[in-house]
Chain A
Amino acid sequence: DTEVTQTPKHLVMGMTNKKSLKCEQHMGHRAMYWYKQKAKKPPELMFVYSYEKLSINESVPSRFSPECPNSSLLNLHLHALQPEDSALYLCASSQGYRVASTDTQYFGPGTRLTVL
């Protein structure tokens, strides 16, 4: 099973709202990732968690707050977003970040976020 699940599938929020995106995997992977993807562009890395600790923050604004409650779950808390934050948010997982140079990332179906 190489499935990564994400909820919700779609999210519409105002600029003053607080919402959370959720991601789950049961492949025993120890690295989990958040990406942001604009239409017809490749995904852009936001955060990397390795063994439930934040390893990489690609200078993401603080209105995005990641959380890794356990090795299977990854959340992205959203607060005071801007319309330009509207995008497809993708979660991915792999065996381990920088553990094996041949590691493969598996992506979830994404959450389509619209900020009004």
Chain B
Amino acid sequence: TQLLEQSPQFLSIQEGENLTVYCNSSSVFSSLQWYRQEPGEGPVLLVTVVTGGEVKKLKRLTFQFGDARKDSSLHITAAQPGDTGLYLCAGLSRTNDYKLSFGAGTTVTVRA
């Protein structure tokens, strides 16, 4: 059983549309990261959130950490083909002895 449930698994949208990816858990996380990965490459860190209720913006990307630090979301506004990739949420929790727990990943495809 995965500690982080990530949804949806796949997302295919047209350029210019918005999208949201969710990451949920029954465990509390001391920090949560979002990574983007392209095929054959390593995950690239997008953001780390550590405070409950925190909202961080990175250009067209908005990240939220739930008040209880059990969930997070990634929202992309006006998606572009360059946003295509595998998005991974990952976090540190006492439940997993502070080993990084990953969600299953969301494959995002943005069609031109």
Contact = CB atoms under 8 A, between A and B. Distances in A.
A103 B105 CA distance: 21
Interface in A4-42: 4, 6, 33, 40-42
Given A45-B100, A48-B99, A109 B31 contact: no
Q: Main SS of chain A's interface residues?
A: loop
B79 to A, nearest CB: 20
A45 B99 contact: yes
A102 B30 contact: yes
Contacts of B98: 97-98, 101, 103
Given A41-B105, A98-B98, A103 B31 contact: yes
Nearest to B2: A42
B31 A107 contact: no
A56 interface: yes
B92 interface: yes
Interface stretch (B11-19, B34-42, B56-64, B70-78): B34-42
Contacts, number: 61
A102 B100 CA distance: 11
Given A48-B99, A56-B99, A101 B92 contact: yes
B21 interface: no
Interface string B70-109: 0000000000000000101010101001111011110100
